[in-house]
Amino acid sequence: MSEVFKPLVVIQNLNVSYEGRHVLKDVTVNIPEKQITAIIGPSGCGKTTLLKSLNRLIDLADGVKFSGKVLVNDVNILDSRIDVTEIRKRMGLISQTPNPLPMSIYDNIAYGPRIHGTKGKEELNQIVKECLQAAGLWDEVKNRLGEPASKLSIGQQQRLCLARALAVQPEVLLCDEPTSALDPISAEHIERQLVTLKRDYTIVFVTHILRQAKRIADYVIFLYLGELVEHGKAVTFFTKPRDSRTRAYIEGKSITT
């Protein structure tokens, strides 16, 4: 499929196995810069594994083996000599379930910048405000920054996690089904913020919800049984799929191989 965009992430012949189970099979695809890319496919097809390959969280799994390349600005992040901590700073992850740190709302945002050397109170205050604004949460919490983050609603906690990811100035936001635990209104908040944030960030998100991918994705990657079946601009992907397996999945039918 032809691609006319500037790629930020270039994936070449990526293979990932867990204890002998081949999860991703020779995946080759480019991820466009400052757009929203949706990774879709049925359960167990390798969506989350692909996402976690982009910040080396796959390293944490038992018995994992991987080969191929994942180039971010021409640097192969799968190289054994790479600084994994720096990679994870550049590739922020928002999990399926909100996971605020057991501390105040303010300290959740300030935690990352402090670890990376930001100590000044005024600078931290500015970072906290800007990140909460970017996540659409500032007006709701600006008068209670000292309260425990656990007092926030689930939807607010997920936006807090988004703000926390932004606080370390990543290049890419990786979102693993970020709205699956949320009510429709909270999910809409997250979707709206992601659409706004793509002006400054490259966003890659995993979703089981085709309607969500149609609403906010600019680009789509479809995986099936660990293989990359089809990828392309969202408008073309959903209206003129080229592979019969893609067409069946979009229409909610059984996929035959």
Can you give the pLDDT at residue 2? 45
Identify the band that residue 117 occupies on the pLDDT scale cut at 50, 70 and 90: confident
Q: Are 108 and 98 in contact (CB under 8 A)?
A: no
The whole-angstrom distance between residue 66's C-alpha and the CA centroid of its chain comes to: 20
Say what percent of the chain tops pLDDT 70: 98
Identify the band that residue 130 occupies on the pLDDT scale cut at 50, 70 and 90: very high
CATH topology of domain 7-100+172-190+198-250: Rossmann fold (3.40.50)
Alpha helix (H) ranges present in 61-199? Answer: 84-90, 105-115, 121-134, 138-141, 154-166, 184-197
Cα–Cα distance between 45 and 40 in angstroms, integer?
A: 9
Question: In whole angstroms, how far apart are CA 153 and each of 7, 133, 148?
Answer: 36, 17, 12
DSSP secondary structure code for residue 130 in this structure: H
The model's pLDDT over 140-151, given as tens digits with 9 standing for 90+, comes to 999 999 999 999
pTM, two decimal places: 0.92
